[in-house]
């Protein structure tokens, strides 16, 4: 239940911010184009809060946080007093109407640039990209990557952490494009060509990175208990900091990872832990809590490993840039993700990429919660990527979306008169059908991930 509430809260915050940014773009430009704004709403349905500003605009927060709108004065919707005709949206030139409608997606891209900039300046701590294992018959093996090597750059971009490496590799992997890696081996740098191929349609999005065949180097952690979570199975069973786990269910434990694997594989099953405490060997029984994940049920006891600070310092790094350097990086990152999103949509249309990549609110809520728990910078990255997706999707030439309106305005600019009401009405129906189909597919994919 706590996990569900966390996901919902993270989704509401994320969507609330991004919807507000999008609608503020329409609102801000409309005001500067001389259009009267009647209502600025975040969400649909019953208003939870509303206030009328001195400018006559009603500001609303509604019950359903899955969208928003800016209602402008328009003769096609209400009767407009003669003295306010010059403030009606429909009376403005094609160029002004185009600017107002395009402002929403444009502000989404601006927000993404700002979020990426703040993320780069704040920095993302992570593990140094030192290769721990290379799986045979994979792109990593064909590139002659070996354990102990450090990946210092991907495609010429520095990669101080594994997050940075996978961040740079994922777009290339999605499109099946080879990429150059810069490797540090025994103090000298050399390059490797990573021969990536387009992933098959049956590969799930979360499995894409694993197809490269790279495994991060794992630190040699001893099975010694560090911090214990309050109210956890470990605390309830009497496990204490500095306890060393020597065996579980009679099987010797050699390192922390092997201990974790045994616990994960036995959710809800009572396990006998053999410990060394102050030089004495004792036994206690712990029942790992059953935790549902996308990979199935796993066991957890709520204990963390005791780590030598010097060992942590040697294996960790921070992906960070200065304020000036981050400006170019954030613009470049926004452009890269925008073009990738557009290309992936095109690949889906022609059937070269699986539609399983389309996610609905359930999956987005999970990602929102996970990124929020992972830290401020990771949440900023999530917001930026979703904001870019909203910007790109809203620019698609589908009636009812901003892109559909922009398409009609371009037609009007070419032919010298607006499209007919019949054409616009038919377009709206087609657009609604497309949106419903996409929403249905997104919800279906969510349910498959949830149950599968």
- On the question of pLDDT at 81 being above 60, the answer is yes
For residues 283 and 131, give the distance between their C-alpha atoms in angstroms, rounded to a whole number.
37
- Phi, psi of 305, deg, nearest 5: -75, 150
> Residue 354 pairs with which residues in a beta bridge?
none
Position 116 scores a pLDDT of 94
Mean per-residue pLDDT for 401-430? Answer: 89
Helices 421-451 & 402-415 angle (0-180, nearest 10): 160
Query: Cα-atom radius of gyration of the chain, to the nearest Å?
Result: 27
For residues 379 and 21, give the distance between their C-alpha atoms in angstroms, rounded to a whole number.
16
**Six-digit token pair at 292?**
């549902």
Position 359 scores a pLDDT of 66
The full set of domains in the chain, from first to last, is 96-122+321-452 (no CATH), 124-219+307-319 (2.30.42.10), 225-303 (2.30.42.10)
| pLDDT bucket at 440, cuts 50 / 70 / 90 | confident
Mean per-residue pLDDT for 263-282? Answer: 93
- On the question of pLDDT at 407 being above 90, the answer is yes
Q: Which of 280, 288, 281, 273 is nearest to 239 (CA)?
A: 273
pLDDT tens sequence across 122-173 = 988 888 888 888 888 888 888 889 988 999 999 888 889 888 888 888 788 7
Q: What angle do CA 170, 66, 402 make, to 5 degrees?
A: 75
Please give the model's pTM, rounded to 2 decimal places.
0.77
Q: Which are the catalytic amino acids?
A: 23
Mean per-residue pLDDT for 201-222? Answer: 70
pLDDT tens sequence across 50-71 = 999 888 899 999 988 778 899 9
Position 409 scores a pLDDT of 92
pLDDT tens sequence across 85-135 = 999 999 999 999 999 999 999 999 999 999 999 999 998 888 888 888 888
Exposure of 116 by Cβ count < 10 A (0-12 exposed, 13-18 middle, 19+ buried)? buried
For residues 341 and 384, give the distance between their C-alpha atoms in angstroms, rounded to a whole number.
13
Phi-psi region at 222: left, alpha or beta (left = phi > 0; alpha = psi -120 to 50): beta
Mean per-residue pLDDT for 311-323? Answer: 81
Torsion angle of alpha carbons 242, 373, 131, 157, nearest 10°? -140
pLDDT tens sequence across 337-380 = 898 888 878 877 776 666 666 666 666 666 666 776 667 888 88
Position 133 scores a pLDDT of 86
Position 239 scores a pLDDT of 94
**Six-digit token pair at 361?**
């609110």
**Quick check: 41 and 66 in contact, CB under 8 A?**
no
- On the question of pLDDT at 318 being above 90, the answer is no
**Six-digit token pair at 433?**
């059908």
Mean pLDDT taken over the chain: 86
């Amino acid at each position: 239940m706590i996990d569900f509430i966390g996901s919902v809260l993270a989704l509401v915050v994320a969507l609330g911010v991004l919807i507000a940014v999008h609608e503020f773009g329409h609102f801000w430009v409309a005001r500067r184009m001389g259009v009267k704004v009647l209502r600025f709403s975040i969400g649909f349905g019953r208003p939870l809060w509303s206030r009328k500003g001195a400018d006559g605009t009603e500001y609303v927060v509604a019950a359903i946080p899955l969208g928003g709108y800016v209602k402008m004065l328009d003769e096609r919707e209400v009767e407009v007093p003669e003295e306010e005709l010059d403030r009606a949206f429909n009376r403005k030139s094609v160029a002004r109407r185009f600017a107002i409608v395009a402002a929403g997606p444009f502000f989404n891209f601006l927000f993404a640039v700002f979020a990426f900039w703040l993320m780069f300046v704040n920095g993302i701590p992570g593990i140094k990209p030192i290769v721990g294992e290379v799986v045979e018959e994979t792109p990593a093996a064909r590139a002659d990557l070996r354990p102990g090597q450090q990946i210092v750059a991907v495609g010429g971009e520095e990669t101080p952490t594994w997050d940075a490496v996978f961040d740079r590799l994922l777009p290339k992997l999605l499109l099946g494009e080879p990429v150059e890696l810069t490797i540090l081996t025994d103090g000298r740098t050399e390059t490797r060509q990573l021969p990536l191929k387009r992933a098959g349609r049956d590969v799930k999005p979360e499995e894409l990175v694993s197809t490269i065949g790279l495994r991060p180097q794992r630190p040699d952690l001893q099975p010694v208990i560090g911090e214990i979570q309050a109210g956890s199975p470990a605390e309830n069973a009497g496990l204490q900091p500095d306890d060393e786990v020597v065996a579980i269910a009679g099987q010797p434990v050699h390192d922390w990872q092997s201990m974790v694997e045994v616990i994960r594989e036995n959710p809800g099953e009572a396990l006998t832990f053999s410990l060394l405490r102050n030089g004495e060997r004792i036994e206690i029984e712990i029942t790992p809590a059953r935790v549902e994940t996308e990979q199935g049920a796993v066991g957890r006891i709520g204990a963390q490993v005791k780590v030598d600070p010097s060992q942590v310092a040697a294996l960790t790094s921070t992906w960070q840039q200065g304020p000036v350097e981050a400006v170019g990086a954030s613009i470049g990152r926004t452009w890269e993700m925008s073009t990738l999103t557009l290309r992936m949509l095109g690949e889906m249309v022609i059937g070269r990429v699986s539609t399983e990549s389309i996610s609905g609110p359930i999956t987005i809520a999970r990602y929102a919660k996970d990124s929020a728990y992972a830290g401020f910078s990771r949440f900023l990255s999530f917001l930026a990527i979703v904001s870019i997706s909203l910007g790109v999707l809203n620019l698609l030439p589908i009636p009812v979306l901003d892109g559909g309106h922009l398409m009609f305005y371009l037609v009007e600019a070419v032919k010298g008169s607006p499209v007919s009401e019949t054409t616009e009405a038919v377009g709206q129906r087609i657009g609604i059908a497309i949106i419903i189909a996409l929403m249905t597919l997104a919800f279906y994919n969510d349910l498959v991930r949830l149950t599968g």
